[in-house]
Structure 1
Amino acid sequence: MRAPDQDLQWISTFLDAQAAELGAARNTLLAYGRDLRDLVQWMAVRQLSFAKVQQSDVEAYLISCDAEGLSRATRARRLSAIKQIYRFAFEEGWRDDNPALQIKGPGRAKSLPKTLDIAEVDRLLEAARNSGRREIDRQRNTCLMELLYATGMRVSELVSLPVSAARGDPNLLLILGKGGKERMVPLSPPARAALSEWLTSRDAHEEHRATQGHKPSRFLFPSRSKEGHLTRHRFYLLIKELAVAGGVSPDKVTPHTLRHAFATHLLENGADLRAIQALLGHADIATTEIYTHVLDARLAELVHQHHPLAQQPPEED
């Protein structure tokens, strides 16, 4: 296959292949596209192109990213995107080498994920039950939060849930995760109750909209957004509002924090690490193992705070 003439065509062809062959998630494709377009802008100033770039050029680009003050995680992600497009180009015969292959990334800072204790989660759930101008808003907020904490879903998985997955008072939800992989997650009794209540109100609202000529939504959490469902950004703002209402520091709370709380609380109560891996949809057990470190850190903190031998004796005058 002949290489495209324009750099943006390289990107679009690469992204199309990622979507068709690997089932890459939309958010992953958007991130690849943003990172690679940034590289194209950098190359244009230097009269370079994907076809001409050498290893030294990729290294120079990464140095410029560092000079801009970009985080290690962002630089590592950009290098990953560059390696991926050049691996694709090599396989397609557009180039006979991969100029990024031998470059080692900056790595990611090893930090423990932020989580919440059970009391904080309870306050968030209580805030969801009482926040919203209308009853239907409060029911939706409660359902969102109960499902998120009960299942550990990614926020993109939650907001895009099809309503068909929630029909019939299910004990389990079928979730479409990264790379098009499906997994089943059980629902807690409070989550099932919140889901049932929300479905009743949601369906009544959709029936009313149908009388006004609107097409019924296929999503559990419909909205007027371009996607047709509640957006990740709107839910991010909502959970911050609930944190304030529940007296929980907003800095500690994101949709992903509830996912971390789900995993950490399961582990604290004796759940098997492999089971947690399956529930979270992690491809690699090493990703799930980070929660053992979270638990270790919390146990150490408890010892330092409460064990009598950990208390420093007062200094003598």
Structure 2
Amino acid sequence: MRAPDIDDFLAMLSAERGAAANTLAAYRRDLEAAAEALADLADANERDLAGLGEAWCVLAPSSLARRCSTLRQYYGFLIDSGYRRDDPSGGLPRPRVRRPLPRLLSREQVDRMLVTAEEEAASDEPQAVRMLALLEMLYGSGLRATELVSLTLDTVPRDAPLLHITGKGGQQRMVPVSTRARHALSRWLELRPKGTRYVFPSRDRHISRVRLFQLLRGLAGRAGLPPEAVSPHVLRHAFATHLLEGGADLRVLQTLLGHADIATTQIYTHVDSARLVELVNARHPLGPGRMRGPDRDGQTAARPLATDGKAD
């Protein structure tokens, strides 16, 4: 039986899981790197895979973990295909990776970018209006960079404040658009070049993710922010963070962001630490200002442990 190769594996991911092009490209890079390090990728045994720890010792723990995850899926595919009966992935190195916390922008920093974009768009110069629309959509709807730049006109209904988004893995979701973002988008739709189905066209396609990245960094610099601190994904983080700070439910946020697993969404809960400390200080019996002071005899009055007079 012919060994299923990398292309066969990627074809399965595309057909059965609806993996996006960027995801497929990342899987290909990981598998090709493994193929360079192993004499025979499809027939490697546990000892062969254990040697990858030394071969890939220069990689960051997160990169090593991603490659190992790709290989586990690849060997699972070989088993499902009937090519292998054993799973050699037990020999893969097991790096311990702490999930990195997202970079953050404060509300004040986002406001500075919005004010700068609004001032520049006041001239009605098309590129400036486009920049405002892009910024409002990133921060107002939490879209991924690819989701934003690839928007087509049919996904932006004029009679409802919702976008029809196809995200990672072909998952579809409805994303609400804020009033500000809707207004900025309407201004841009009146100025955008005609004859193309893309909301943000560039030649015969749409603007690229790289170009979006460049535009945002340029705006950040003009707003007095460090350009390296701003990216499309950082604004997506800001959208999620500020919604949570405003009291949004984690499940609702999961739906808005298009996360398949709520564990991915839970990374944002760390950003509300200041609000949690404030809540404890304001509501907990031992919080500042809530302890009863000394009574007239100089003794501190004790607060009862339970209202029904019974011990817990």
Quickly name the TM-score band, shorter chain normalised: 0.7 to 0.9
Aligned to 2:45: 54
Alignment of 1:142 onto 2:158? no
Task: Provide closer, same or farther for how the CA distance between residues 253 and 283 of structure 1 changes in structure 2, counting only shifts above 3 A.
Answer: same
Judge conservation of contact 1:139–1:198 (CA < 8 Å) in 2: yes
Question: Contact 2:47/2:91 (CA < 8 Å) preserved in 1?
Answer: no
SS of equivalent to 1:170: coil
How big is each residue's C-alpha offset from its partner over 1:51-81, in whole Å with a ceiling of 9 and x where there is no partner? 3311121121132212x2x211111111111
Aligned counterpart for 2:244 among listed residues 267, 276, 280: 267
For 1:75, give the aligned amino acid. Answer: L
1:216-245 deviation per Cα after TM superposition (whole angstroms, max 9, x unaligned): 3222111137xx211111111111111111
Q: Tell whether the 8 Å contact from 1:131 to 1:242 is kept in structure 2 after alignment.
A: no
Aligned match of 1:159:
149
| Structure 1 residue identity aligned to 2:13 | Q
What stretches of structure 1 of length at least 5 have no aligned partner? 5-9, 207-215, 310-317
Matches of 1:297 and 1:72, distance apart in 2: 30
2:62 paired with 1:85: no
1:257 is aligned to 234
From 293, 296, 306, give the equivalent of 2:273. 296
Match of 1:112 in 2: 101
Which has the larger Rg?
2
State how far apart, in whole Å, the 2-side matches of 1:186 and 1:134 are: 25
CA distance in 1, matches of 2:248, 2:43: 52
Tell me which residue corresponds to 1:213: none
Give deviations 1:267-311, integer Å, cap 9, x for gaps.
11111111111101111222212222111157659x9xxx999xx
Correspondence for 2:218: 241
Say which structure is richer in helix.
1
Residues in 2 aligned to 1:18 and 1:82: alpha-carbon distance in whole angstroms: 13
Instruction: Please say which of residues 269-278 and 103-112 is displaced more in the overlay.
Output: 103-112
Give the corresponding residue for 1:37: 32
The secondary structure found in structure 2 opposite 1:279 is: helix
1:94, 1:134 → 2: CA distance?
61
Q: Is the 8 A contact 1:129 1:141 kept in 2?
A: no
Q: Distance in 1 between matches of 2:94 and 2:117?
A: 41
Determine helix, strand or coil for the equivalent of 1:173: strand
2:33 is aligned with what amino acid?
D
2:179 is matched with: 189
Identity of aligned residues (%): 47
Query: Structure 1 50/59 Cα, relative in aligned 2: closer, same or farther at 3 Å?
Result: same
> Which residue type is aligned with residue 174 of structure 1?
H
Distance 1:277 1:104 in 2: 31
Question: C-alpha separation between the residues in 2 aligned to 1:278 and 1:121?
Answer: 23
Q: Does structure 2 retain, via aligned residues, the 8 Å contact 1:169–1:196?
A: no
Total equivalences in the alignment: 283
What is the identity, as a one-letter code, of the residue corresponding to 2:65? A
> 1:185 is paired with a residue of what secondary structure?
strand
Deviation at 1:115, TM superposition (A): 1.4
Q: Which has the higher contact order (CA 8 A, sep 6+)?
A: 1
For 2:199, the equivalent position in structure 1 comes to: 220
Alignment of 1:92-111 (within 5 A): 92-101=81-90, 103=92, 105-111=94-100
Equivalent-residue separation in structure 2 for 1:63 and 1:131 (angstroms): 53
Provide the alpha-carbon RMSD of the alignment: 2.6
CA contact 1:222–1:230 (8 Å) conserved in 2 = yes
* 1:131–1:141 Cα contact (<8 Å) kept: no
Change (3 A) 1:134 1:79: farther
What is the identity, as a one-letter code, of the residue corresponding to 1:290? I
1:126 deviation in Å? Answer: 2.5
Quick one: which amino acid aligns to residue 20 of structure 1? A
TM-score, structure 1 normalization: 0.82
Output the amino acid matched with 1:165. Answer: T
Partners in 2 of 1:131 and 1:77 — Cα distance?
Answer: 42
The 8 Å contact of residues 130 and 138 in structure 1, kept in 2 or not, is answered as no
Check the 8 A contact 2:163/2:176 in 1, yes or no: yes
Change (3 A) 1:145 1:77: same
Point out 4+ residue stretches in structure 1 off by more than 6 angstroms. none
1:90–1:299 Cα change, 3 Å: same
Alignment check: 8 A CA contact 1:174 1:182 kept: yes
| Amino acid corresponding to residue 277 of structure 1 in structure 2 | Q
Q: Could you tell me which residue of structure 1 aligns to residue 258 of structure 2?
A: 281
What amino acid maps onto 1:54 in structure 2?
N
Question: Contact (CA 8 Å) 1:76, 1:106: kept in 2 or not?
Answer: yes
Residue type matched to 2:216 in 1? Answer: I
Aligned partners of 2:101 and 2:275: how far apart in 1? 11
